[in-house]
Structure 1
Amino acid sequence: MPPDRSSFTPLNFDNDALLPEYMDSFTLAAPPNSDLWRKPPSRDTSTAPILYTALRNPFIAAEVTVSADWELEWDQGGLVIFAGAPPGSVATAIAPQLAPPPTVDITLNDTTNISPESLTPIGQRPPPPYMPPAPASKWVKVGLEFCNGACHATSVVATSDGADWALTSLPPHHARRSDLRVKIERIGYALWIWYEDHVSGWKKLREVTWFFWSVEDKAVRVGVYASRPANFGTSMYERRNGTNGALGGGMRNLCVDFEGLEIF
Protein backbone atom coordinates (compact mmCIF):
# COMPACT_ATOMS: atom_id res chain seq x y z
CA MET A 1 0.00 0.00 0.00
CA PRO A 2 1.47 3.41 -0.95
CA PRO A 3 2.21 5.97 1.78
CA ASP A 4 -0.32 8.62 2.74
CA ARG A 5 0.01 11.81 0.69
CA SER A 6 -0.63 14.03 3.71
CA SER A 7 2.46 12.76 5.53
CA PHE A 8 4.90 14.13 2.92
CA THR A 9 6.73 17.44 3.01
CA PRO A 10 7.84 19.12 -0.24
CA LEU A 11 11.25 20.72 -0.53
CA ASN A 12 12.27 23.01 -3.42
CA PHE A 13 8.77 23.10 -4.90
CA ASP A 14 7.48 26.28 -6.54
CA ASN A 15 4.00 25.55 -5.20
CA ASP A 16 3.53 23.38 -2.12
CA ALA A 17 -0.09 22.75 -3.11
CA LEU A 18 1.06 20.75 -6.15
CA LEU A 19 1.59 17.49 -4.27
CA PRO A 20 0.86 14.16 -5.96
CA GLU A 21 -2.71 13.02 -5.50
CA TYR A 22 -1.66 9.38 -5.31
CA MET A 23 1.77 8.32 -4.05
CA ASP A 24 1.80 5.02 -5.93
CA SER A 25 2.39 6.75 -9.28
CA PHE A 26 3.52 10.35 -9.74
CA THR A 27 6.03 12.59 -11.49
CA LEU A 28 8.57 15.13 -10.24
CA ALA A 29 10.00 17.75 -12.59
CA ALA A 30 13.56 18.91 -11.92
CA PRO A 31 14.63 22.19 -13.54
CA PRO A 32 18.16 22.70 -14.86
CA ASN A 33 20.85 23.37 -12.26
CA SER A 34 19.00 21.39 -9.58
CA ASP A 35 21.04 19.03 -7.44
CA LEU A 36 21.48 17.39 -4.05
CA TRP A 37 25.19 17.38 -3.25
CA ARG A 38 27.70 18.24 -0.53
CA LYS A 39 31.26 19.51 -0.74
CA PRO A 40 33.62 19.91 2.21
CA PRO A 41 33.39 21.50 4.61
CA SER A 42 29.66 20.71 4.77
CA ARG A 43 28.69 23.01 1.91
CA ASP A 44 25.33 21.77 0.71
CA THR A 45 23.70 22.19 -2.66
CA SER A 46 20.05 21.41 -2.05
CA THR A 47 18.02 22.63 -5.02
CA ALA A 48 16.55 19.34 -6.26
CA PRO A 49 12.80 18.78 -5.80
CA ILE A 50 12.36 16.37 -2.88
CA LEU A 51 9.32 14.77 -1.26
CA TYR A 52 10.09 13.28 2.15
CA THR A 53 8.25 11.95 5.17
CA ALA A 54 8.95 11.27 8.83
CA LEU A 55 8.14 7.80 10.13
CA ARG A 56 5.99 6.79 13.09
CA ASN A 57 7.94 3.55 13.50
CA PRO A 58 11.65 2.73 13.12
CA PHE A 59 12.73 2.66 9.49
CA ILE A 60 12.98 -0.79 7.88
CA ALA A 61 13.14 -0.34 4.09
CA ALA A 62 11.97 1.74 1.13
CA GLU A 63 11.83 1.02 -2.59
CA VAL A 64 10.58 2.64 -5.78
CA THR A 65 10.84 2.34 -9.57
CA VAL A 66 12.16 5.40 -11.42
CA SER A 67 12.03 6.14 -15.14
CA ALA A 68 12.43 9.16 -17.42
CA ASP A 69 13.56 10.32 -20.83
CA TRP A 70 17.18 10.67 -19.74
CA GLU A 71 19.14 12.89 -22.11
CA LEU A 72 21.52 15.26 -20.28
CA GLU A 73 24.66 14.36 -18.37
CA TRP A 74 23.92 13.59 -14.68
CA ASP A 75 20.12 13.44 -15.09
CA GLN A 76 18.95 11.37 -12.12
CA GLY A 77 16.15 10.41 -9.76
CA GLY A 78 15.53 7.94 -6.96
CA LEU A 79 15.28 7.45 -3.20
CA VAL A 80 16.85 9.61 -0.50
CA ILE A 81 17.17 9.09 3.25
CA PHE A 82 18.25 11.71 5.81
CA ALA A 83 19.55 11.17 9.33
CA GLY A 84 18.49 14.59 10.56
CA ALA A 85 16.85 17.56 8.89
CA PRO A 86 17.15 17.65 5.08
CA PRO A 87 19.55 20.35 3.86
CA GLY A 88 17.78 23.64 3.31
CA SER A 89 14.69 22.74 5.34
CA VAL A 90 15.74 24.43 8.60
CA ALA A 91 16.50 28.10 9.06
CA THR A 92 19.84 29.07 10.52
CA ALA A 93 19.76 29.52 14.28
CA ILE A 94 19.96 33.12 15.49
CA ALA A 95 22.34 33.91 18.30
CA PRO A 96 20.61 35.32 21.38
CA GLN A 97 20.91 39.05 21.91
CA LEU A 98 22.99 40.09 24.88
CA ALA A 99 21.55 42.34 27.54
CA PRO A 100 23.06 45.83 27.72
CA PRO A 101 25.82 46.25 30.32
CA PRO A 102 24.66 47.40 33.76
CA THR A 103 25.05 51.07 34.66
CA VAL A 104 25.57 52.56 38.10
CA ASP A 105 25.03 56.16 39.16
CA ILE A 106 27.85 57.24 41.48
CA THR A 107 28.00 60.29 43.75
CA LEU A 108 30.80 61.40 46.05
CA ASN A 109 28.90 60.36 49.17
CA ASP A 110 27.41 57.17 47.71
CA THR A 111 27.97 54.12 49.89
CA THR A 112 26.44 51.62 47.42
CA ASN A 113 28.43 48.45 46.96
CA ILE A 114 29.81 48.46 43.42
CA SER A 115 30.87 45.22 41.80
CA PRO A 116 34.21 45.17 39.96
CA GLU A 117 32.45 43.83 36.85
CA SER A 118 30.36 46.99 36.51
CA LEU A 119 33.51 49.13 36.40
CA THR A 120 35.24 47.01 33.75
CA PRO A 121 35.61 48.91 30.46
CA ILE A 122 33.40 47.50 27.70
CA GLY A 123 36.40 46.73 25.50
CA GLN A 124 37.87 44.47 28.21
CA ARG A 125 34.75 42.42 28.89
CA PRO A 126 34.64 38.80 27.68
CA PRO A 127 33.19 38.20 24.22
CA PRO A 128 29.69 36.74 23.83
CA PRO A 129 29.43 32.95 24.06
CA TYR A 130 30.26 31.00 20.91
CA MET A 131 27.24 29.48 19.18
CA PRO A 132 28.46 26.37 17.32
CA PRO A 133 26.59 25.61 14.09
CA ALA A 134 24.25 22.65 14.05
CA PRO A 135 25.99 19.52 12.73
CA ALA A 136 25.22 18.68 9.12
CA SER A 137 22.83 15.77 8.66
CA LYS A 138 23.95 12.51 7.10
CA TRP A 139 22.11 11.45 3.98
CA VAL A 140 22.20 8.85 1.19
CA LYS A 141 20.58 8.91 -2.23
CA VAL A 142 20.26 6.02 -4.68
CA GLY A 143 18.66 5.85 -8.09
CA LEU A 144 19.18 5.87 -11.84
CA GLU A 145 21.62 8.35 -13.39
CA PHE A 146 22.45 9.15 -17.01
CA CYS A 147 26.21 9.46 -17.50
CA ASN A 148 28.47 9.07 -20.55
CA GLY A 149 25.49 8.30 -22.76
CA ALA A 150 24.12 5.42 -20.66
CA CYS A 151 22.01 4.79 -17.57
CA HIS A 152 23.77 3.63 -14.41
CA ALA A 153 22.76 2.67 -10.90
CA THR A 154 23.99 5.58 -8.78
CA SER A 155 24.52 6.26 -5.10
CA VAL A 156 25.85 9.17 -3.06
CA VAL A 157 26.74 9.02 0.64
CA ALA A 158 27.08 12.33 2.48
CA THR A 159 28.71 12.81 5.88
CA SER A 160 29.42 16.00 7.80
CA ASP A 161 32.71 16.34 5.87
CA GLY A 162 31.47 15.89 2.30
CA ALA A 163 30.05 13.27 -0.05
CA ASP A 164 31.21 10.52 -2.36
CA TRP A 165 29.63 9.43 -5.64
CA ALA A 166 29.51 5.92 -7.08
CA LEU A 167 28.22 4.71 -10.45
CA THR A 168 27.57 1.06 -11.28
CA SER A 169 27.11 -0.18 -14.83
CA LEU A 170 23.93 -2.15 -15.38
CA PRO A 171 23.95 -5.64 -16.94
CA PRO A 172 23.86 -5.72 -20.77
CA HIS A 173 20.26 -6.95 -20.82
CA HIS A 174 19.26 -3.92 -18.72
CA ALA A 175 21.49 -1.30 -20.33
CA ARG A 176 18.93 -0.13 -22.90
CA ARG A 177 16.10 0.24 -20.40
CA SER A 178 15.20 3.64 -18.98
CA ASP A 179 13.75 2.38 -15.69
CA LEU A 180 15.19 0.87 -12.53
CA ARG A 181 13.80 -0.26 -9.18
CA VAL A 182 15.99 0.65 -6.21
CA LYS A 183 15.80 -0.14 -2.51
CA ILE A 184 17.37 1.00 0.75
CA GLU A 185 17.21 -1.27 3.79
CA ARG A 186 18.27 -1.02 7.41
CA ILE A 187 20.23 -3.96 8.81
CA GLY A 188 21.48 -3.19 12.31
CA TYR A 189 23.34 0.12 12.18
CA ALA A 190 24.02 -0.32 8.45
CA LEU A 191 22.13 0.92 5.42
CA TRP A 192 22.17 -1.51 2.51
CA ILE A 193 21.55 -0.21 -1.01
CA TRP A 194 20.11 -2.41 -3.76
CA TYR A 195 18.84 -2.33 -7.32
CA GLU A 196 16.63 -4.91 -9.01
CA ASP A 197 17.79 -6.89 -12.02
CA HIS A 198 14.66 -8.20 -13.74
CA VAL A 199 16.55 -11.41 -14.65
CA SER A 200 18.52 -12.29 -11.51
CA GLY A 201 16.68 -10.33 -8.81
CA TRP A 202 18.02 -7.85 -6.27
CA LYS A 203 21.70 -6.92 -6.46
CA LYS A 204 23.59 -5.17 -3.70
CA LEU A 205 25.17 -1.85 -4.67
CA ARG A 206 26.91 -0.98 -1.41
CA GLU A 207 26.71 -1.06 2.37
CA VAL A 208 26.99 2.05 4.54
CA THR A 209 28.00 0.41 7.80
CA TRP A 210 27.71 3.44 10.10
CA PHE A 211 24.64 5.26 8.81
CA PHE A 212 22.29 4.61 11.75
CA TRP A 213 24.95 4.83 14.46
CA SER A 214 23.87 7.40 17.13
CA VAL A 215 20.77 8.29 15.07
CA GLU A 216 17.39 8.49 16.79
CA ASP A 217 14.52 6.80 14.96
CA LYS A 218 12.49 10.02 15.03
CA ALA A 219 15.29 11.87 13.18
CA VAL A 220 15.04 9.69 10.05
CA ARG A 221 13.40 11.18 6.94
CA VAL A 222 12.79 9.15 3.76
CA GLY A 223 11.59 10.23 0.35
CA VAL A 224 12.25 10.65 -3.36
CA TYR A 225 14.11 13.21 -5.43
CA ALA A 226 14.65 14.29 -9.04
CA SER A 227 17.68 16.20 -10.25
CA ARG A 228 19.06 17.81 -13.41
CA PRO A 229 22.45 19.27 -12.41
CA ALA A 230 23.26 20.43 -15.96
CA ASN A 231 22.82 24.17 -16.35
CA PHE A 232 22.24 25.83 -19.70
CA GLY A 233 20.39 28.97 -18.68
CA THR A 234 16.76 29.92 -19.24
CA SER A 235 15.02 31.04 -22.38
CA MET A 236 13.29 34.41 -22.80
CA TYR A 237 9.93 32.61 -22.68
CA GLU A 238 10.79 30.94 -19.36
CA ARG A 239 12.00 34.21 -17.86
CA ARG A 240 8.73 35.90 -18.82
CA ASN A 241 6.32 33.10 -17.98
CA GLY A 242 8.12 31.01 -15.39
CA THR A 243 7.71 27.23 -15.04
CA ASN A 244 5.00 25.01 -13.64
CA GLY A 245 6.79 23.92 -10.48
CA ALA A 246 8.20 20.57 -9.46
CA LEU A 247 5.11 18.67 -10.60
CA GLY A 248 4.50 20.55 -13.83
CA GLY A 249 7.69 20.79 -15.77
CA GLY A 250 8.95 23.42 -18.17
CA MET A 251 10.36 22.50 -21.55
CA ARG A 252 13.85 22.10 -20.10
CA ASN A 253 12.85 20.20 -16.98
CA LEU A 254 13.63 16.55 -16.37
CA CYS A 255 10.37 14.74 -15.60
CA VAL A 256 11.03 11.63 -13.49
CA ASP A 257 8.24 9.08 -13.05
CA PHE A 258 7.97 7.18 -9.77
CA GLU A 259 6.03 3.92 -9.53
CA GLY A 260 5.26 1.60 -6.64
CA LEU A 261 6.71 3.69 -3.80
CA GLU A 262 6.84 1.69 -0.57
CA ILE A 263 8.22 2.85 2.77
CA PHE A 264 8.24 0.60 5.82
Structure 2
Amino acid sequence: MSSTETFTITAGPNTDLWRKPPVKDISNAPTAKATTSPLPSFRSARISFKLPYTHQYDQAGLLLIFSPLPPSSSSSTPSPSSYSSKVTGNPKKWIKAGLEFYNSLPRFSIVSCDAWADWSVAPLSEPDSSWTSLSIEKEGDEKGESLWVYQILNSGEKIPLREICWVYGDSPDQWEVKVEAMAARPTTDEGAGDLVAEFKDFEVSWE
Protein backbone atom coordinates (compact mmCIF):
# COMPACT_ATOMS: atom_id res chain seq x y z
CA MET A 1 0.00 0.00 0.00
CA SER A 2 1.28 3.44 -0.93
CA SER A 3 -0.45 6.82 -0.72
CA THR A 4 1.23 10.09 -1.68
CA GLU A 5 -1.91 12.15 -1.08
CA THR A 6 -2.10 14.52 1.86
CA PHE A 7 -4.85 13.84 4.41
CA THR A 8 -5.83 15.06 7.87
CA ILE A 9 -7.03 13.55 11.13
CA THR A 10 -9.07 15.63 13.58
CA ALA A 11 -8.81 14.75 17.27
CA GLY A 12 -10.89 16.40 19.97
CA PRO A 13 -10.07 16.69 23.68
CA ASN A 14 -10.05 13.52 25.81
CA THR A 15 -8.77 11.34 22.96
CA ASP A 16 -5.84 9.01 23.52
CA LEU A 17 -4.39 5.53 23.20
CA TRP A 18 -2.89 4.55 26.55
CA ARG A 19 -2.89 1.61 28.97
CA LYS A 20 -1.52 1.98 32.50
CA PRO A 21 -2.00 -0.20 35.59
CA PRO A 22 -4.05 -0.85 37.50
CA VAL A 23 -7.09 -0.05 35.33
CA LYS A 24 -6.37 2.74 32.80
CA ASP A 25 -7.18 1.51 29.28
CA ILE A 26 -8.28 4.21 26.83
CA SER A 27 -8.50 3.61 23.10
CA ASN A 28 -10.45 6.36 21.36
CA ALA A 29 -7.78 8.10 19.28
CA PRO A 30 -9.03 8.77 15.74
CA THR A 31 -7.24 6.97 12.91
CA ALA A 32 -7.22 6.81 9.11
CA LYS A 33 -5.96 4.80 6.12
CA ALA A 34 -6.00 1.40 7.85
CA THR A 35 -4.53 -1.64 6.12
CA THR A 36 -4.42 -5.13 7.69
CA SER A 37 -2.59 -8.38 7.02
CA PRO A 38 -1.19 -11.40 8.90
CA LEU A 39 1.75 -10.35 11.06
CA PRO A 40 4.40 -12.53 9.33
CA SER A 41 3.84 -10.63 6.07
CA PHE A 42 4.61 -7.19 7.56
CA ARG A 43 7.85 -5.62 6.31
CA SER A 44 7.70 -1.88 6.99
CA ALA A 45 5.56 1.23 7.34
CA ARG A 46 6.48 4.85 6.77
CA ILE A 47 4.69 8.17 7.16
CA SER A 48 5.29 11.94 7.29
CA PHE A 49 3.16 14.29 9.37
CA LYS A 50 2.76 17.85 10.60
CA LEU A 51 1.47 18.49 14.13
CA PRO A 52 0.19 21.96 15.19
CA TYR A 53 0.70 21.26 18.91
CA THR A 54 -0.58 23.59 21.62
CA HIS A 55 -1.45 21.33 24.57
CA GLN A 56 0.48 18.83 26.68
CA TYR A 57 0.47 15.35 25.06
CA ASP A 58 -0.83 16.52 21.65
CA GLN A 59 0.36 13.75 19.33
CA ALA A 60 0.31 12.29 15.83
CA GLY A 61 2.07 9.48 14.04
CA LEU A 62 1.95 5.84 13.04
CA LEU A 63 -0.04 3.12 14.80
CA LEU A 64 0.32 -0.67 14.63
CA ILE A 65 -2.39 -2.75 16.34
CA PHE A 66 -1.83 -6.48 16.85
CA SER A 67 -4.90 -8.73 17.23
CA PRO A 68 -5.22 -12.53 17.56
CA LEU A 69 -6.44 -14.23 14.42
CA PRO A 70 -9.66 -16.22 14.90
CA PRO A 71 -9.10 -20.00 14.62
CA SER A 72 -9.98 -21.33 11.18
CA SER A 73 -12.83 -23.81 10.84
CA SER A 74 -10.40 -26.43 9.56
CA SER A 75 -7.84 -25.95 12.33
CA SER A 76 -7.84 -27.33 15.86
CA THR A 77 -5.26 -24.74 16.94
CA PRO A 78 -6.81 -22.30 19.44
CA SER A 79 -6.51 -18.55 19.09
CA PRO A 80 -3.42 -17.33 20.99
CA SER A 81 -3.98 -16.41 24.62
CA SER A 82 -1.77 -13.37 25.04
CA TYR A 83 -0.30 -12.09 28.28
CA SER A 84 -2.10 -8.84 27.52
CA SER A 85 -5.47 -10.59 27.58
CA LYS A 86 -4.69 -12.45 30.80
CA VAL A 87 -3.66 -9.28 32.62
CA THR A 88 -6.01 -6.61 31.24
CA GLY A 89 -8.84 -8.51 29.57
CA ASN A 90 -7.90 -6.80 26.29
CA PRO A 91 -6.09 -9.13 23.85
CA LYS A 92 -4.93 -6.34 21.53
CA LYS A 93 -1.35 -5.10 21.61
CA TRP A 94 -0.08 -1.98 19.89
CA ILE A 95 2.78 0.34 19.04
CA LYS A 96 2.43 4.04 18.34
CA ALA A 97 5.32 6.19 17.20
CA GLY A 98 5.33 9.84 16.26
CA LEU A 99 5.57 13.40 17.53
CA GLU A 100 4.25 14.40 20.95
CA PHE A 101 4.19 17.77 22.70
CA TYR A 102 5.59 17.10 26.18
CA ASN A 103 6.79 19.61 28.79
CA SER A 104 6.74 22.54 26.36
CA LEU A 105 8.72 20.81 23.58
CA PRO A 106 7.87 18.63 20.57
CA ARG A 107 9.55 15.27 21.05
CA PHE A 108 9.80 11.98 19.26
CA SER A 109 7.51 9.62 21.18
CA ILE A 110 7.23 5.83 21.10
CA VAL A 111 4.74 3.80 23.12
CA SER A 112 4.98 0.01 23.06
CA CYS A 113 2.07 -1.88 24.65
CA ASP A 114 2.18 -5.62 25.28
CA ALA A 115 0.21 -6.04 28.52
CA TRP A 116 0.79 -2.44 29.67
CA ALA A 117 2.21 0.57 27.86
CA ASP A 118 5.88 1.63 28.03
CA TRP A 119 6.67 5.16 26.83
CA SER A 120 9.92 6.74 25.70
CA VAL A 121 10.71 10.20 24.32
CA ALA A 122 13.70 11.59 22.43
CA PRO A 123 14.68 15.01 21.06
CA LEU A 124 13.96 15.70 17.40
CA SER A 125 17.02 15.57 15.16
CA GLU A 126 15.52 18.27 12.90
CA PRO A 127 13.32 20.37 15.22
CA ASP A 128 12.95 23.19 12.69
CA SER A 129 11.57 20.96 9.93
CA SER A 130 7.84 21.48 9.27
CA TRP A 131 7.32 17.79 8.49
CA THR A 132 8.42 14.83 10.62
CA SER A 133 9.01 11.42 9.03
CA LEU A 134 9.37 7.99 10.60
CA SER A 135 9.39 4.32 9.75
CA ILE A 136 8.78 1.06 11.59
CA GLU A 137 10.70 -1.81 10.01
CA LYS A 138 10.95 -5.55 10.53
CA GLU A 139 14.54 -6.66 10.95
CA GLY A 140 16.21 -9.93 11.85
CA ASP A 141 19.51 -11.70 12.33
CA GLU A 142 20.80 -14.93 13.81
CA LYS A 143 19.43 -13.84 17.19
CA GLY A 144 15.83 -13.40 16.03
CA GLU A 145 13.35 -10.85 14.67
CA SER A 146 12.19 -7.49 15.95
CA LEU A 147 10.73 -4.14 14.90
CA TRP A 148 12.91 -1.02 14.71
CA VAL A 149 11.54 2.53 14.88
CA TYR A 150 13.50 5.17 12.94
CA GLN A 151 13.27 8.91 12.47
CA ILE A 152 13.92 9.72 8.82
CA LEU A 153 15.81 12.96 8.19
CA ASN A 154 15.30 15.19 5.16
CA SER A 155 18.56 13.76 3.76
CA GLY A 156 17.11 10.24 3.93
CA GLU A 157 19.34 9.21 6.85
CA LYS A 158 17.59 6.95 9.36
CA ILE A 159 18.12 7.63 13.08
CA PRO A 160 17.46 4.50 15.18
CA LEU A 161 15.20 5.23 18.15
CA ARG A 162 13.93 1.95 19.57
CA GLU A 163 13.98 -1.80 19.05
CA ILE A 164 10.82 -3.72 20.04
CA CYS A 165 11.16 -7.49 20.42
CA TRP A 166 7.97 -8.80 22.05
CA VAL A 167 6.07 -8.60 18.75
CA TYR A 168 7.59 -11.86 17.52
CA GLY A 169 7.59 -13.71 20.83
CA ASP A 170 4.00 -15.00 21.02
CA SER A 171 3.13 -17.25 18.02
CA PRO A 172 3.40 -14.45 15.42
CA ASP A 173 1.74 -16.62 12.77
CA GLN A 174 -1.47 -16.46 14.84
CA TRP A 175 -1.67 -12.66 14.84
CA GLU A 176 -2.61 -9.95 12.37
CA VAL A 177 -1.41 -6.37 12.32
CA LYS A 178 -3.37 -3.27 11.33
CA VAL A 179 -1.30 -0.26 10.25
CA GLU A 180 -2.79 3.24 10.23
CA ALA A 181 -2.20 6.92 10.91
CA MET A 182 -3.38 8.34 14.24
CA ALA A 183 -3.69 11.56 16.21
CA ALA A 184 -4.86 12.38 19.73
CA ARG A 185 -5.43 15.30 22.09
CA PRO A 186 -5.48 13.82 25.63
CA THR A 187 -6.09 17.13 27.42
CA THR A 188 -9.23 17.20 29.55
CA ASP A 189 -9.73 20.90 28.77
CA GLU A 190 -12.96 20.86 26.77
CA GLY A 191 -12.22 24.41 25.63
CA ALA A 192 -9.06 23.29 23.86
CA GLY A 193 -10.85 22.68 20.58
CA ASP A 194 -9.75 20.17 17.97
CA LEU A 195 -6.26 19.14 16.96
CA VAL A 196 -5.91 18.77 13.18
CA ALA A 197 -2.84 16.78 12.14
CA GLU A 198 -1.72 16.58 8.52
CA PHE A 199 -0.19 13.47 6.93
CA LYS A 200 1.46 12.46 3.66
CA ASP A 201 3.66 9.75 2.09
CA PHE A 202 1.97 6.88 3.92
CA GLU A 203 3.53 3.62 2.74
CA VAL A 204 3.10 0.05 4.03
CA SER A 205 5.10 -2.84 2.59
CA TRP A 206 4.01 -6.47 2.90
CA GLU A 207 5.84 -9.62 1.86
TM range (shorter): 0.7 to 0.9
Aligned partners of 1:230, 1:155: CA distance in 2, in Å?
A: 19
Aligned partners of 1:163, 1:254: CA distance in 2, in Å?
A: 23
Of 136, 144, 148, the residue aligned with 2:91 is: 136
Q: Provide the aligned length of Structure 1 versus Structure 2.
A: 180
- Name the counterpart of 1:152: 107
Matched, 1:252 2:171: no
Aligned partners of 2:157, 2:60: CA distance in 1, in Å?
A: 21
Q: Could you tell me how far 1:187 is from its partner in structure 2?
A: 1.5
Aligned partners of 1:216, 1:135: CA distance in 2, in Å?
A: 19
Aligned partners of 1:135, 1:37: CA distance in 2, in Å?
A: 12
Aligned partners of 1:27, 1:200: CA distance in 2, in Å?
A: 24
Residue deviations 1:16-60 (CA, integer Å, cap 9, x gap): xxxxxxx73200000011000011257420011023221277000
Aligned partners of 2:64, 2:190: CA distance in 1, in Å?
A: 30
The gaps in structure 2 that reach 5 residues or longer are 69-85
Question: Normalising by the residue count of structure 2, what TM-score does the alignment of the two structures yield?
Answer: 0.78
Aligned partners of 1:231, 1:135: CA distance in 2, in Å?
A: 24
Task: Pick the structure with greater CA Rg.
Answer: 1
Residue identity in the other structure for 1:158: C
SS of corresponding position for 1:55: strand
SS of corresponding position for 1:216: helix
Alignment check: 8 A CA contact 1:144 1:179 kept: no
Alignment check: 8 A CA contact 1:76 1:145 kept: yes
Residue deviations 1:167-209 (CA, integer Å, cap 9, x gap): 10013xx223342101101124311101112247110110012
* 1:1-264 correspondence runs (5 A): 2=2, 24-41=5-22, 43-51=24-32, 52-55=34-37, 58-84=41-67, 136-160=91-115, 162-171=116-125, 174-188=126-140, 189-199=145-155, 201-213=157-169, 214-216=171-173, 219-234=176-191, 252-264=193-205
Alignment check: 8 A CA contact 2:51 2:99 kept: no
The structure in which a higher percent of residues are strand is: 2
Aligned partners of 2:91, 2:8: CA distance in 1, in Å?
A: 29
Alignment check: 8 A CA contact 1:64 1:78 kept: yes
Q: Could you tell me how far 1:2 is from its partner in structure 2?
A: 2.2
Aligned partners of 2:127, 2:134: CA distance in 1, in Å?
A: 15
Question: Normalising by the residue count of structure 1, what TM-score does the alignment of the two structures yield?
Answer: 0.62
Give me the CA root mean square deviation: 2.3
Residue identity in the other structure for 2:148: W
Fraction of identical pairs, as percent: 31
Rate the CA distance shift 1:73–1:187 in 2: closer, same or farther, 3 A.
Answer: same
Alignment check: 8 A CA contact 1:32 1:231 kept: yes
Q: Could you tell me how far 1:134 is from its partner in structure 2?
A: 5.5
Aligned partners of 2:195, 2:48: CA distance in 1, in Å?
A: 16
Aligned partners of 1:168, 1:199: CA distance in 2, in Å?
A: 19
Aligned partners of 2:89, 2:101: CA distance in 1, in Å?
A: 34
Aligned partners of 2:139, 2:129: CA distance in 1, in Å?
A: 30
